[in-house]
Structure 1
Amino acid sequence: MGLKKGGFIELEVTGMAFGGKGLAKVDGLAVFVEKAVPLDRIKARILKKKKKFAEAVAVELIEPSPYRTNPPCEYSGFCGGCRWQFLEYDRQLQYKRQHVEESLEHIGLIRDVPVHPTIPSEKIFGYRNKMEFSCSDRKWLIPSDFTSGETSSGFALGLHVPGTFDKVLDIRACLLQPEEGNMIFEDAKAFMKKSGIPPYGIKSHEGFWRFLMLRNSAAYGHWMVNIITSTENRKTLEPLAALLSEKYPDVVSVINNITSSKAAVATGEYETVLSGSPFIKDKIGNFEFEISANSFFQTNTISAEILYKKVKEFSGLSGSETVLDLYSGTGTIPVFLSADAGQITGIEIVESAVLDAEKNCRSNGVSNCTFILGDIRESLSEISKKPEVIIIDPPRVGMHKDVVKLVMDMAPERIVYVSCNPATLARDLFLMKESYKVEEVQPVDMFPHTWHIESVARLQKKRQL
């Protein structure tokens, strides 16, 4: 059966591919289908045709899969935030585990390794402690806009539609954040719109309102409202800060980040405090962390604690070990492990993260963690004492091959690899498997309704024969 770009075809979806797309086969050719679930029978439009695969999007549901569920969000199918809302949560967990298993087998050539069932998120809605909403002078219209007559496109505050960079889906609420966040969002949006001051245009690079970021403390229920604008204008923003602080006692911090950069990044060149504190506090386990407007903190606090407990378990610490933490960020893992190790050294290339890590140690009374600012490839030479355990928590791109070699040269007894990308996890474990045995892998779901998955792998040094 010939497939042509723009053509239509009826498909039986048989699997789920990494990246969250349904998988169908046509005469042996893999077809990756957006908005499809295994066991769906659909009509699809071909978006791309290559020699070895095709890409398509479901346009008609002929017979729904028993794994489908009705998404509670009115923007499901349009928003790029959580594309798996229509898939039963138990199935989401199964496919995430499957993606880890397949990556290890096909990319890492690692077989017969126990990949445990995915640990679920305690909450599947309202779990995010940070949401970033974009402002735009171009609104992405959906069918309900035409029904309600809300077709003006001059102001939008919400989330991006996949494949677009300049238009924003104008939303009323997001179910991934706690409900109070939606109330704060609604009032902030109404103020912005009523101000008459235009939102920033990605194409024109003109306008004032750029982003609205909401951060929440799971431990204390406090909120930070971070308003990102193109210029500083306290006369406009102070009434908004006063409105939110007075109406919501849990709003303890209102910040203004100011950026003239054309890049669509919600980080200011500088910031001012409009109301309250410059930070909020949250807890992972018994440890408290200060979170500023631009500091990194795991976005699912409850699942982060589950993840860190698994890191602690896999580290096999007895209280005296020397531990090295690569890509240590703001020091949350070293602080979390501090009571169970002798000495922990973190290496991190971002200066602000190292400063936050040192501050987190001081505020928690932790004295056995130190941090080195620099590139890992250059900084490992500063490590004088060989670690028994190395913890690796790299970005999505994984480890540089030079770092892998340096880790192998250090030859710790145990390695704990924390990964947010099964493909690069498998690639890096392949490079280590001559010297280390992968004992087990534990997936942890930190992002329900998305295909993203965190994993923790436990590696043990092989004995020389």
Structure 2
Amino acid sequence: MPVKKRKTYELDIIDLAFGGKGLAKPDGFPVFVDRCVPGDRVFVKIFKKKKSWAEGRLINIVNPSPLRQEARCEYNRFCGGCKWQQLPYERQLEYKKRHVVESLAHIGRLKDVRVMDVVPSDYIYEYRNKMEFSCSSMRWLMPEELADDSIKKGFGIGLHVPGTFDKVIDIHNCHIMPALGNDILETIRAFVAESGLAAYHLRKHEGFWRFVMLRHSVARDQWMVNLVTSEENSDVIKALSKQLVKKFSQISCIVNNITDARSGVSTGKEEILIHGEDHLIEKLGGYQFKISANSFFQTNTRACEKLYTKVSEYAGLDGSQTVLDLYSGTGTIPIWLSGQAKQIYGIEIVHSAVVDARENVSLNGIDNCTFLEGDIKDVFKQVPEKPDVIIIDPPRVGMHKDVVGHVLAHSPGKIVYVSCNPATLARDLEMLASRYAVLEVTPVDMFPHTYHIESVALLVKKN
């Protein structure tokens, strides 16, 4: 049947596509539908139509799939945080592995790569050590709230409806962060609602309260609260801080980030310490790391240890090698490998990350990690010795082709590539495949109930 825009159809979902959307193929024509499970028969409306594919919006499920299970979260059908809760975790892992295999084969044209089973996350709920909630003066109402005339579309704190920048669901119970975080958030919500100060309006660019960021240290079971506001108001922030500290002994740090940026970005232009220290201490293996409000740290601490264990295994260090870590961030991988290598160099372009990396090295008493600040293609020549192993852990967009050129020019014996995006992993491995054999890829699940997957690839120089 010909698929037309703005028309409705009953479709059978036969698969999950990369990106997490259900796939139907009426007469062989691909139609992608979000929030579906293979085996569902669904009623959809086509809202986007291209020459070779279309997207449909789910109206209702006509016949649910035998795979479909009840999501734990009441916001699951509307919030973009963890859409795969209706799929059993074992099946999530199967689809994640297949997405890695298919990306390598179809994007990277690497058809014979051995892809291992996904290393699972021990915790599939309460696993995130950082959550960022937006404050809104006009929250998005749930269907049951729309039916109640007494409920007004007023203030809320929560997560965005996918595809929107100003529609926020008022989240009272998020299952992917530790449970105490919900109690902390509820206390903040009540205070903000009674404060007399408005939440920020992203269209009018007015209002005081912008974001609430919560961080949790697994090692010490301590919390950081980062209150992001549009301007300074020490009386109000200190009053909220006093209330939080009195109620929650686990809160060891409260900061106020201030920003007047018109975009919806939570990083402050100024940071004021309100209570305790300006950082948390987290541990990976035997190493400690300082985590400040705006520093990057992997959001699943326990799974991160599994990821870095695989990096260690693939690197195969015996204490005699020089290692170069590209996109070294706050130094977590160099520090993790420091006891196994002769010397490690890290390159990172973000100044604050380099500062954090050097502090973390000092915190752990490590003397064989050196961090170079700048763009990789400019700083590569400052590395004083040829590396035996290069670790590459780029952002989602992958490596710039100039960086690939530098890697090939240095031509180390071994490369360990860590990726959070199977598509750019496949693209980059194809660019390296002229000189390197991809021996093995191991996916590691850092983000249960989402389609996201980390992967570690082992590349060895061809003879």
Instruction: Give the TM-score range, shorter chain.
Output: over 0.9
Give the superposition deviation at 1:383: 1.7
1:149–1:73 Cα change, 3 Å: farther
Which residue identity lines up with residue 158 of structure 1 in the other structure? G
Residue number in structure 2 paired with 1:245: 245
Give percent identity, aligned residues only: 55
Q: In structure 1, what is the equivalent of residue 72 of structure 2?
A: 72
Flag structure 1 segments of 5+ consecutive residues without an equivalent: none
Cα distance between partner residues in 2 of 1:87 and 1:59? 19
Equivalences for 1:111-130 in 2 at 5 Å?
111-130=111-130
Question: Equivalent residue for 2:54?
Answer: 54
What does residue 17 of structure 2 align with? 17
Residue correspondence of structure 1 range 215-294 to structure 2 within 5 A: 215-294=215-294
Equivalent residue, structure 2, for 1:336: 336
Quote the offset at 1:182 in angstroms.
Answer: 0.5
Q: Partner letter of residue 292 of structure 1?
A: S
- What do the CA deviations read for 1:296-351 (whole angstroms, capped 9, x no partner)? 11100000000000000000101110000000000000000000000000000001
In structure 1, how many angstroms separate the alpha carbons of the residues matched to 2:292 and 2:222? 13
Deviations 1:26-68 (A, max 9, x none): 1221111111111111111111111100101222212211221
1:29 pairs with 2:26: no
Amino acid at match of 1:56: G
The CA distance in 1 between the partners of 2:151 and 2:200, in whole Å, is: 19
Does 1:142 pair with 2:142?
yes
Moved more, 135-144 or 13-22: 135-144
1:358 is matched with 358
> What displacement does 1:147 show?
4.7
- Contact (CA 8 Å) 1:35, 1:57: kept in 2 or not? no
Deviations along 1:402-439, one digit per CA (max 9) or x if unpaired, are 11011011010100000000000000000011100000
Which residue does 1:303 correspond to in 2?
303
Question: 2: distance between equivalents of 1:330 and 1:213?
Answer: 19
Contact 1:258–1:269, Cα closer than 8 Å, also in 2: yes
Task: Specify the code of the residue in structure 1 equivalent to 2:44.
Answer: A
Q: CA deviation at 1:146?
A: 3.0
- Structure 2 counterpart SS, 1:313: helix
Asked if structure 2 preserves the Cα contact closer than 8 Å seen for 1:257 and 1:267, the reply is: yes
Tell me what 1:214 maps to. Answer: 214
Using the size of structure 2 for normalisation, the TM-score is: 0.99
Give the aligned partner of residue 345 of structure 2: 345
What amino acid does structure 1 have at the position aligned with 2:414?
R
CA distance in structure 1 between the partners assigned to 2:413 and 2:210 by the alignment: 49
Once the two structures are superposed, the pairs formed by residues 173-188 of structure 1 within 5 Å of their partners are 173-188=173-188
CA contact (8 A) 1:132 1:213 kept: yes
Residue 389 of structure 1: aligned partner:
389
Deviations 1:201-229 (A, max 9, x none): 00010000000000000111000000000
Q: TM-score, normalised by structure 1?
A: 0.98
Cα distance in 1 between the residues matched to 2:280 and 2:61: 46
Once residues 406 and 111 of structure 1 are traced to their aligned partners in structure 2, the CA distance between those partners, rounded to angstroms, is: 26
C-alpha separation in 1, matches of 2:378 and 2:122: 40
Task: Tell me the alpha carbon deviations over residues 266-286 of structure 1, each in whole angstroms, 9 at most, x when there is no partner.
Answer: 110011111111111110110
Superposed CA offset, 1:72-119 (max 9, x none)? 111011001111111111111111101100000001000111111111
Match of 1:427 in 2: 427
Q: What is the correspondence of 1:191-210 to structure 2 with a 5 Å cutoff?
A: 191-210=191-210
Cα offset, 1:384, TM superposition: 2.5
In 2, distance between residues paired with 1:288 and 1:382? Answer: 28
Of the structure 1 ranges 345-354 and 40-49, higher mean CA displacement relative to structure 2 is found in: 40-49
Contact map agreement 1:314 1:416 (CA 8 A) in 2: yes
Q: Any conservation in 2 of the 1:12–1:39 contact (CA below 8 Å)?
A: yes
**In structure 2, C-alpha distance between the alignment counterparts of 1:384 and 1:249, rounded to whole Å:** 48
Question: Residues of 1 paired with 2:406 and 2:273: CA distance?
Answer: 43
1:237-276 Cα offsets, whole Å, 9 max, x none, are 1011011111111001011000011111111001111111
d(CA) in 1 for partners of 2:220, 2:293: 17
CA distance, structure 2, for counterparts of residue 213 and residue 456 of structure 1: 29
Question: Which residue in the other structure is 1:4 paired with?
Answer: 4
Q: CA RMSD in A?
A: 0.9
For residue 228 of structure 1, give the secondary structure of its aligned residue in structure 2: strand
Displacement of 1:198 in angstroms is: 0.5
**One-letter amino acid of the counterpart of residue 114, structure 1:** R
Q: Secondary structure at the match of 1:27?
A: helix
Matches for 1:449-460 after TM superposition, within 5 Å: 449-460=449-460
Q: Distance in 1 between matches of 2:149 and 2:447?
A: 34
Q: Distance in 2 between matches of 1:150 and 1:95?
A: 43
The secondary structure found in structure 2 opposite 1:460 is strand
Aligned with 1:256: secondary structure? Answer: strand
What SS is found at the alignment partner of 1:186?
helix
Task: Confirm or deny: 8 A CA contact 1:135 1:157 kept in the other structure.
Answer: yes
1:379–1:281 CA distance, 2 compared to 1 (3 A): same
Q: How does 1:312-331 map to 2 (within 5 A)?
A: 312-331=312-331
Which has the larger displacement, 4-13 or 287-296?
4-13
Q: C-alpha separation between the residues in 2 aligned to 1:148 and 1:115? A: 51
Give the corresponding residue for 1:42: 42
| Greater than 4 Å deviation, 4+ residue runs | 147-150
Offset of 1:137 from its aligned partner? 1.2
Equivalent pair of 1:173/1:185 in contact (CA under 8 Å): no
